[in-house]
Structure 1
Amino acid sequence: MINLENDYLKVTIALDGAEIRSVFDKSRRIERMWHADAKYWGRTSPVLFPIVGQVKGGSYTFDEKDYNLSQHGFLRDQKFELESSSENQVSFIYESLDKMKDVYPFEHRVTITYTLVEKTVSVTWKVENCDTQEMYYSIGAHPAFNLNGDHYEFEFETRGDVREFSLKQGLVANSEIIAVKPVEVNVENLQNDAIIYDNIDAVSLINRDNGEVTRLACPGFDYVGLWMPVTDGILAPFVCIEPWMGITDSFDEYGDFRNKLSIKKLAPEQQESYEYTVSYL
């Protein structure tokens, strides 16, 4: 485990998946991240790559060859190498090196950098195409934040018209433009899979009992998902705010990876970077 620490927060990150496992809030003396109890959900903050969500039927086609790929891809289960570290910043790197060609036909490198400044953790992904052909991919985050009270609400900062996407069997069925308003964290609002929006620049999870705020800013990201398990009408003690560059397949998707909904592409030897921040207030 690698630690970043200042006067406000102590952040713990694992080499496995380059995943944040803990954010301890020193001023409130509480843990802000979910502790991966498999009773509800056995992860804390996995990185989703090379897909977000599913490919329909668990498989896709590229250059007339079929590939099987599990939900959210494989990067969250890979061991990263430590590239560099300091008191307030750490970078991890993963190189495919021919390891994943049976499920994903592109050589690639992903670097994940975490930077701690006061009460904010910034997360930067750098995706590199190490192949000789154009590379197709999606990338996203799935951080889970503890609920330390009974009355929480989401508030949103938006850009332009916002669409809400409805799912069928975990796949995009349709979407509609909505009037954005705060969403209360309750069974009624979160029992039907993830809530997904586009054109969201930031989401604040606000504890109405004590004013505690977790603000995730992701300007320019394609989508944001809100998710928590609901079992027998009972909410899990955490909620996920998920910024995505990509989305699960359309229910009508026919499997060609080049035509996947919201897929990204990189030319050979090119790279792209994305950044979001989480502030614990």
Structure 2
Amino acid sequence: MTTTISNSILSATINHKGAELISLQNVTTKREYIWEGNPDFWGKHSPILFPIVGTLKNNSYQYKDKIYSLPRHGFARDFNFKLLAEEPNKVVFSLQDNEATLAIYPFKFELQLIYTLKKSELIVAYKVINKSAETIPFCIGGHPAFTLKNKFENYSLQFESGEKLISYQLENDLLSDKTQEIGLKKNELPLTYSLFEHDALVFKNLNSKQIKILENHKPIVNLRFNDFPNFGIWTKTNAPFICLEPWLGYADTTMANGNIQEKEGIQLVKSNSYANYNFSIEIV
């Protein structure tokens, strides 16, 4: 089941499974900006990453002397969300803990995804509500894939600031202490598949809080992510999409001890409290 919201400029369609954005279109030109989800390359569009981002060491974690297992990027993307509220330009989805989640993540919670269209911008908001009697540890992030209709090398990413980009290399899906500097040309990163020969580019701290996708040096998308200090960029060889991923948290390091409360990048929300985060996709 899907729900579509729209205004005079954009329409956005969200799948109730995972509350996943599956389409963002210009209503006049009908241009699509979200990856179609062709499984020959990658069968997702823009999944929510919760309650972890990336991979845990041994796919497991420890909490109160008990070992739990969680799959890569968590479980929220695999559950059907409840439609809580719907307006022409706004929709609210909710996932609450259940028997299946409590078996692998022993916390009572509610995760809300709120999509709001404002002119040429889609705001994607996350609300993590702690319904437990104890503090909840979690990570959360977005994974939107933007479709590229022209040759991959015709695109580049324009960063907000001319910073030195330090990417942490992955070893068996875990973050190692090996890094590589990614060079920018006038704040731009020309896209080539060779950038991703060792999987995703992972940045623990990014000074830029917005990244533009340029098509033939002209901006087509502007991603803003003030609430997210960590970031991933990813594609697959020959795939016509680029993923720009704002994160709170990241994969375990190769030296992780397994204690979820000591995990690098972990977030905490106290009992009977909540945390809000959002990023936005502006069509330029």
What is the CA distance between 1:184 and its match in structure 2? 1.4
Equivalent residues, number: 276
Match of 1:24, SS?
Answer: strand
Distance 1:156 1:28 in 2: 27
For the 8 Å contact 1:159–1:201, the answer to whether it is kept is: no
Secondary structure in structure 2 of the residue aligned to 1:30: coil
1:261 aligns to 2:264 (yes or no): yes
> Runs of 5+ in structure 1 lacking a partner?
none
Quote the Cα distance in structure 1 between the aligned partners of 2:191 and 2:162.
23
Q: Post-superposition shift, 1:137?
A: 0.3
AA partner of residue 268 (structure 1) = S
Partner of 1:101, secondary structure, is helix
The one-letter code sitting in structure 2 at the alignment partner of 1:213 is I
- 1:112 to partner: Cα distance: 0.7
- CA gap of 1:94–1:262, structure 2 versus 1, over 3 A, is same
Give the partner amino acid of 1:92: F
Q: Take 2:192 and 2:249, find their aligned partners in 1: how far apart are those partners?
A: 26
TM-score normalised by L of structure 1: 0.93
- How far does residue 14 in structure 1 lie from its aligned partner after superposition? 1.2
Are 2:191 and 1:170 equivalent residues in the alignment?
A: no
| Alpha-carbon displacement from aligned partner over 1:49-88 (angstroms, at most 9, x marks no partner) | 0000010111111111111110000000111111111111
Please report how far the alpha carbon of residue 220 of structure 1 lies from its aligned counterpart in structure 2 after TM superposition.
Answer: 3.4
1:1-281 alignment runs, 5 A limit: 1-150=2-151, 151-158=154-161, 163-174=166-177, 181=184, 182-197=188-203, 198-199=205-206, 200-208=208-216, 211-230=218-237, 235-281=238-284
| 1:97 CA displacement | 3.6
- C-alpha displacement at 1:108, in angstroms? 0.7
CA distance in 1, matches of 2:195, 2:9: 32
Give per-residue Cα distances to partners, 1:7-60, cap 9 Å, x unaligned: 221111111111111112234432111111111001101000000001011111
Aligned AA for 1:75? A
SS of structure 2 residue aligned to 1:102: helix
Determine the C-alpha separation between the residues in 1 that align with 2:213 and 2:65.
44
Give the distance between the partners of 1:274 and 1:254, measured in 2 at CA. 28
List per-residue Cα deviations over 1:217-253 (Å, max 9, x = no partner): 00131211100012xxxx2011100000111000111
Q: Give the residue type in structure 2 aligned to 1:221.
A: F
Question: Does the 8 Å contact 2:59/2:71 carry over to 1?
Answer: yes
Cα distance in structure 2, aligned partners of 1:96 and 1:136: 14
Deviations 1:106-135 (A, max 9, x none): 111011100001111001100011111111
* Contact in 2 for aligned 1:98/1:107 (Cα 8 Å): no
Where 2:104 maps in the other structure, the secondary structure is coil
After superposition, the C-alpha distances for 1:182-204 in whole angstroms (9 at most, x for unaligned) are 21111221222111222230111
Q: Secondary structure of the residue that 2:194 maps to in structure 1?
A: helix
Q: Which amino acid aligns with 2:234?
A: W
Alpha-carbon separation, structure 2, partners of 1:118 and 1:180: 34
**Cα pair distance change 1:175/1:279, threshold 3 Å:** farther
**Structure 2, unpaired ranges of 5+:** none
Distance in structure 1 (CA, Å) of the matches to 2:52 and 2:194: 28
> Contact conserved, 2:227 with 2:278, CA < 8 A, in 1?
no
